[in-house]
Structure 1
Amino acid sequence: MTDAQISVTLSPVQRRHGAMVMLVITFLMWGGFFMVIPLLSLRYVDDLGWSAGAVGLVLAIRQLTQQGLTVFGGALADRFGAKELIVVGMLIRAISFSAMAVATTYPFLMISAILAALGGALFDSPSSAAMVALTRPEERNRYFAVLGIVRGLGMSLGPLVGAALLRVDFAFVALAAGGCFFVASGITFLLLPPVRVAAERSELLAGILMALRDRRFMAFNVLLMGYWFMWVQLTISLPLAARALAGTSDAVSWLYALNAGMSVLLQYPVVRLAERWLRPLPVLMFGIVLMALGLGSVVFAGAIGALLVSVALFSFGALLAAPGQQTVAADLANPAALGSYFGVSALALALGGGIGNYAGGALYSLGHDINFPALPWLVCLGVGIGSAAGLAALDRRLVRRAESGVRG
């Protein structure tokens, strides 16, 4: 969809208003999500004695289910609009997180996670497509940088509130997280304007097939799996390492406070500085390399202070990579079917994040079983460097293609 097509239905004031609403509900979504998900490993591994691999499998299935189904959420947004899907998806997520308050068996926890995935599948790509539709290309990278700050606030405050409520009972953590999504659904219903995320309505699978046949877009998403593999370690292996080194669950909130604090303070100025010298794709590559080095350096972390240094390096890379990956995805997407493109893009998170969740938990347990605790961190280092190298090769191809087009 071009800016001209959007302006037919939404005025500039409505666009700015809609973009602000998306920032507010993003804060609630990230706050609610990180209030409960990072504490699952502490609740079920440390408190109830489940294996880290078992909890990692729950997180992996949630990730795979959500991002796998997000393809259809994006296609539905192209056909019916984004607002309604976001509202329904958040209500389902609110119910699923609230159900975790009484999930004391493995099947119940798995069902709750799958229900959470269904809700996320409905609001994930419609939300991303709405953000693109509400912003102009020249302001998009800066908007995503501000979005990173908002996400950082949610990621910081969520675990702090969750850790405080965990001292009382995990049920309060789950209910508070569900409440965040319930409030977000109400704000969306009342305040978000009706955003069009496709130039015209089409058959349900038409946009999906268009994205799947787009070789440049699909190559980018395959390589982006490495980024998501590393990013999800915030929800599985890093919390376990923090608890082990510090001896207290409060260390998880320290980890997230550092990560989010850096995002809040540095995201916007660092991204503005980086975009003066580099295109979004090289910024993304540089961020991925720093994330990989941060995770790899956990090998040398013998105390919680050293782990926080590693997390700081990881977080600095992530605050560069996050807006970069969103901007590049938006640039490569066909405006005729933004919802479908962002739905297909979610497959990178589905596979990379799903594998990362399971591998993070499984490798963490395996490393301790075989007396080689460096195992998960060395694997993360290799995955990140490989992803950055692949993106560098893709960038060279895109630059050559652009230069050929200019000369032609």
Structure 2
Amino acid sequence: MVGRVIAKYREAYSGLPKGVWMLAGVEFVNRAGTMVLFFLTLYTTRHLGFSLPRAGQILAAYGMGSLIGTYLGGHLCDRIGAYHVQRLSLGFSAIFLILLGLPESFAPLMVLAFLLGAAAEALHPANLTAVSQLCPPEMRTRGFSLSRLAANLGLSIGPVVGGYLALFDYKWLFWADGLTSLVALGLFHAFFATQAGPASAHYENARPERSPWSDRVFLLIWALSFLVAVVFSQLFATFPLYIREVYQLKENAIGQLIAVNTVQIVLIEMLIIHALRGHEPARVARVGVLALCAGFALMPLGRGFLYGAFTVVVWTFGEILTLPLLVTLVAGRAGPTGQGRYQGLLTLSFALATIVGPLVGSWVYNSAGPDTLWFGCGVLGIVLAAGFTLLIAISDREK
């Protein structure tokens, strides 16, 4: 029995190109050092004495920078190559992270937060582009899932280490985060010292080149991705508040609930994606959005840590069946020299949702009540499933 399970894991991870593993390693190191963003509000309010609205404006500056970075990063991938974009992103991120810990006045912090957002978030479309170029079409979803797994593993380390560093001195956060970006850059350079990116690999049957703005199927995928991300953004916006106020669980329990998500992704995502390798991505994602939204919609129907963990398991299954498949759908729409623009716009949809989602979610939470928000997520799941049904119908007509 154990041997069979091990064989399944080995099969799920086997066959991926070496470069994809190297990209995942760089992603893990970079994410393991991610700690400044988690503690930026506490740093600016408790250490620097800013008001909460001012701290929110600094975070918003980062968000605006991320919008620029994701779009520009994707565009540059098609100009100078995804590998060069990742080098630039990691290098400038390290510089801006260290600089962000130096000023104690509002204006320079706003500027540096904006620049950091632009530099750091340019990495994501470049990483997705590189994976899509390295993997043959039948392996792309597994490649994207491996990248997600590495990011989730890293993010499970960064905030914990950052919390201990903050107990000594908040300034250590900026140096540690910046230095890990430099380490990630060093590893990236060692792995890919001579590569600019296989721009035309694995596109024997590529579609004719086109602008993503004129690709109506892609624009539908973009809209669906944005709505998925709006729902998912509640995990960081209103989910902790609801668990604290309604479930009356303390902060450590909230962290443990979120850890259920990470552990589930690490343990089973690659197995599930490998098992579904022969299925059409849009049909899998249609099931995924229903599970994702149902997990949130179930929250008002119970109480307690175990029930909360059950809802996390449900929406994490939805996340696993949705997010990697969205990237695969987008990769399938782009030609050999358009991956950067397509993946940049997809990443932009998530960046935009991290601004819109918390605003809409907190407004519904306060004005209509928290239960209305979660039931609304369930209704949105039905809308999203209908959207994927339309996407499947359009795609079938294109064949």
TM-score (structure 2 length as normaliser): 0.81
The one-letter code sitting in structure 2 at the alignment partner of 1:253 is G
Secondary structure of the structure 2 residue equivalent to 1:306:
helix
Equivalent in the alignment of 1:330: 331
| CA distance in 2 between partners of 1:251 and 1:46 (Å) | 23
Equivalent in the alignment of 1:260: 262
Secondary structure of the structure 2 residue equivalent to 1:334:
coil
Change (3 A) 1:331 1:41: same
| CA distance in 2 between partners of 1:301 and 1:107 (Å) | 45
Bigger Cα displacement from structure 2, 378-387 vs 17-26: 378-387
Q: Cα distance, 1:84 vs. partner? A: 2.3
- Are 2:90 and 1:90 aligned? yes
The one-letter code sitting in structure 1 at the alignment partner of 2:394 is R
Change (3 A) 1:298 1:38: farther
Equivalent in the alignment of 1:235: 236
The one-letter code sitting in structure 1 at the alignment partner of 2:265 is S
Change (3 A) 1:341 1:255: same
- Kept in 2: contact 1:59–1:357 (CA 8 A): no
Q: Cα distance, 1:355 vs. partner? A: 0.9
Q: Cα distance, 1:210 vs. partner? A: 1.4
Q: Alpha-carbon deviations, 1:328-351, whole Å to 9, x = none?
A: 111111223211222222232233
- Kept in 2: contact 1:42–1:249 (CA 8 A): no
Q: Cα distance, 1:315 vs. partner? A: 1.6
Change (3 A) 1:234 1:60: farther
Secondary structure of the structure 2 residue equivalent to 1:151:
helix
Equivalent in the alignment of 1:389: 386
| CA distance in 2 between partners of 1:308 and 1:121 (Å) | 30
1:60-75 aligned at under 5 Å gives the runs: 61-75=61-75
1:125-144 aligned at under 5 Å gives the runs: 125-144=125-144
Change (3 A) 1:307 1:173: farther
Equivalent in the alignment of 1:377: 374
- Kept in 2: contact 1:125–1:346 (CA 8 A): yes
Q: Alpha-carbon deviations, 1:311-342, whole Å to 9, x = none?
A: 22222211221211111111111223211222
| CA distance in 1 between partners of 2:223 and 2:389 (Å) | 13
Equivalent in the alignment of 1:177: 177
Q: Alpha-carbon deviations, 1:284-308, whole Å to 9, x = none?
A: 2222221212222333454444333
The one-letter code sitting in structure 1 at the alignment partner of 2:190 is L
1:8-407 aligned at under 5 Å gives the runs: 16-33=17-34, 35-40=35-40, 51=52, 59=59, 61-99=61-99, 101=101, 107=107, 109-192=109-192, 193-196=194-197, 198-199=199-200, 210-242=211-243, 244=245, 248-276=250-278, 278-300=279-301, 302-364=303-365, 366=366, 372-402=369-399
Q: Cα distance, 1:236 vs. partner? A: 2.8
Q: Alpha-carbon deviations, 1:343-368, whole Å to 9, x = none?
A: 2222322332321133345555x25x
Change (3 A) 1:68 1:22: same
Gaps of 5+ in 1: 1-14, 201-206, 403-408
- Kept in 2: contact 1:229–1:355 (CA 8 A): yes
| CA distance in 1 between partners of 2:56 and 2:392 (Å) | 33
Q: Cα distance, 1:265 vs. partner? A: 0.5
Equivalent in the alignment of 1:12: none
Gaps of 5+ in 2: 1-15, 202-207
- Kept in 2: contact 1:197–1:339 (CA 8 A): no
The one-letter code sitting in structure 1 at the alignment partner of 2:178 is G
| CA distance in 1 between partners of 2:327 and 2:210 (Å) | 21
Secondary structure of the structure 2 residue equivalent to 1:336:
coil
| CA distance in 2 between partners of 1:315 and 1:171 (Å) | 34
The one-letter code sitting in structure 2 at the alignment partner of 1:134 is L
- Kept in 2: contact 1:243–1:251 (CA 8 A): no
- Kept in 2: contact 1:41–1:55 (CA 8 A): yes
The one-letter code sitting in structure 1 at the alignment partner of 2:333 is L
Secondary structure of the structure 1 residue equivalent to 2:122:
helix
The one-letter code sitting in structure 2 at the alignment partner of 1:323 is P
Change (3 A) 1:169 1:249: farther
| CA distance in 2 between partners of 1:262 and 1:125 (Å) | 25
The one-letter code sitting in structure 2 at the alignment partner of 1:342 is Q
- Kept in 2: contact 1:159–1:252 (CA 8 A): no
| CA distance in 2 between partners of 1:384 and 1:99 (Å) | 42
The one-letter code sitting in structure 2 at the alignment partner of 1:316 is F
TM-score (structure 1 length as normaliser): 0.79
- Kept in 2: contact 1:224–1:387 (CA 8 A): no
Secondary structure of the structure 2 residue equivalent to 1:275:
coil
Bigger Cα displacement from structure 2, 238-247 vs 391-400: 238-247
Q: Cα distance, 1:140 vs. partner? A: 1.6
| CA distance in 2 between partners of 1:313 and 1:106 (Å) | 42
| CA distance in 2 between partners of 1:142 and 1:175 (Å) | 34
Q: Cα distance, 1:120 vs. partner? A: 2.7
Identity of aligned residues (%): 25
Q: Cα distance, 1:238 vs. partner? A: 2.7
